[in-house]
Amino acid sequence: MRVSGLAERTGVPVATIKYYLRERLLHPGTPRSRTQADYDESHVDRIRLVRALTDVGGLDLAAARRVLETIEDPELERLGVLGAAQRSLLGPEYVDVDDEEDDASPAPDSRARRWAAARGWRVHPRDPVLDRLDRAWEACDTAGIGLDAARLDAYADAAERVAEIDVDSVPSEPHDALRQVVLGTVLVDPVLAALRRLAQQHVAVGRAQG
Amino acid sequence: MRVSGLAERTGVPVATIKYYLRERLLHPGTPRSRTQADYDESHVDRIRLVRALTDVGGLDLAAARRVLETIEDPELERLGVLGAAQRSLLGPEYVDVDDEEDDASPAPDSRARRWAAARGWRVHPRDPVLDRLDRAWEACDTAGIGLDAARLDAYADAAERVAEIDVDSVPSEPHDALRQVVLGTVLVDPVLAALRRLAQQHVAVGRAQG
């Protein structure tokens, strides 16, 4: 199909599709003439995936491209699947936690790290997700939300339950696994956020009715 | 203090603070001369809250203003706290679920609504969060993430646990309650997202070691 057909199938404007092509978020079609190309179902799927990552997952186009490049990385085997997934999601400023030079410097310390250690979670002390947790925790302090270690532990119990479902649903083949972990991390977060709001209502109604 | 002092205390540039003042995200200082004003701790707190909502909570400035206006709304008592919270977070396109005219039209139907009804969740069938869940669920389908009703139910179990913690931590005074619910909804999501990623690592390490 032509680019106009692609726009019709996906509901994405031609100008946006051309932008995706220029930015290499979308693979080129088969050339038909000097100015035209043919597109197929693989292009439809890819455009829908880009829209899912940006509209629902809330990624900007640079992050979406990093995610898509990661799930297509033929070098994947040498990285752990989770490491590669988190690398792609954390962005270019990501510090390689396995880097030996870094390991020579003293391990960082923070409230999130002390909390995770006290809980017995096996996570790398240099993991930048711990820094994200520190920032998010501090933002709660700023807003006067009483998020003490006990409440964080209660949330962590629920997070472990979610993580068990996540990990159980990962297929064994490494490329499928990476795709599942990366896309699942981005796209299941909005599902969980919606479920949390609906569950709040359900629980609140239950409490109000005794 | 002057606006420069405010910038120093908060780490937010003077130009940004002036923008917040123009956009009424920040209340005016006490006039000191025709071109100068005095600011106090309430301004420091407010700027930090705006930054928490935008940097950590990921809200744009329009959404942050809606959230801040909601938690300061003196009309609050006539709205339910959760209704007001979700109203502020869903944006201006929000459909009032309690509107009688809407109730005359047939109740909408969707996969998320059928799933929530089957689960026995007491949520309003017109709740726009159900539409968000439909969109998020569809994005997972698009990406090939096998999110069937069983897996969604398992996530919902975890969401109920989170919601119980959320609801238990809401104070009884309505304005404090609204503040806690609105800010907690925005600012605890990033905490939960970080916990999910850390728990994934912890669970994956546990599985790998048998």
**CB B194 to CB A136 under 8 A?**
yes
* Nearest chain B residue to A158, by CA: B158
**CB B179 to CB A207 under 8 A?**
no
**CB B203 to CB A58 under 8 A?**
no
Helix axes B128-142, B111-119, angle to 10 degrees: 110
pLDDT in tens, A135-148: 999 999 988 888 98
pLDDT of residue B44: 93
Mean pLDDT, chain A, integer? 82
CA B42 remoteness from chain centre: 22
% residues pLDDT > 90 (chain B): 40
A102 CA: distance to closest CA in chain B (Å): 20
Flag whether pLDDT at A103 surpasses 70.
no
Residue A58 sits at the vertex; the CA angle it makes with A122 and B133, to the nearest 5 degrees, is: 90
> Is the pTM value of this prediction over 0.95?
no
Residues of A whose CB is below 8 A from B44: none
pLDDT interval class at A100 (50, 70, 90): very low
pLDDT interval class at B137 (50, 70, 90): very high
pLDDT of residue A92: 46
Q: Do residues A198 and B125 lie in contact, with contact meaning Cβ atoms separated by under 8 Å? A: no
B3-40 b/e (C-beta count within 10 Å ≥ 16 → b):
beebbeebebeeeebeebbeeebbeebeeeeeeeeebe
pLDDT of residue B79: 52
pLDDT in tens, A26-74: 999 999 888 889 999 999 989 998 998 888 888 888 888 888 887 776 6
**CB A163 to CB B190 under 8 A?**
no
DSSP string of A80-142?
-HHHHHHHHHH-TT---TT-HHHHHSPPP--HHHHHHHHHT----TT-HHHHHHHHHHHHHHH
The rounded distance, in Å, linking the Cα atoms of B164 and B185 is 13
Which has the higher per-residue pLDDT, B102 or B12? B12
Residues of B whose CB is below 8 A from A140: 52, 184, 187-188, 191
Flag whether pLDDT at B177 surpasses 90.
no
Q: What is the ipTM of this complex?
A: 0.80
pLDDT in tens, A171-209: 777 777 777 877 888 889 999 999 998 998 888 777 766
pLDDT in tens, B60-118: 888 888 888 877 766 655 456 566 566 556 554 444 445 444 555 677 889 999 999 99
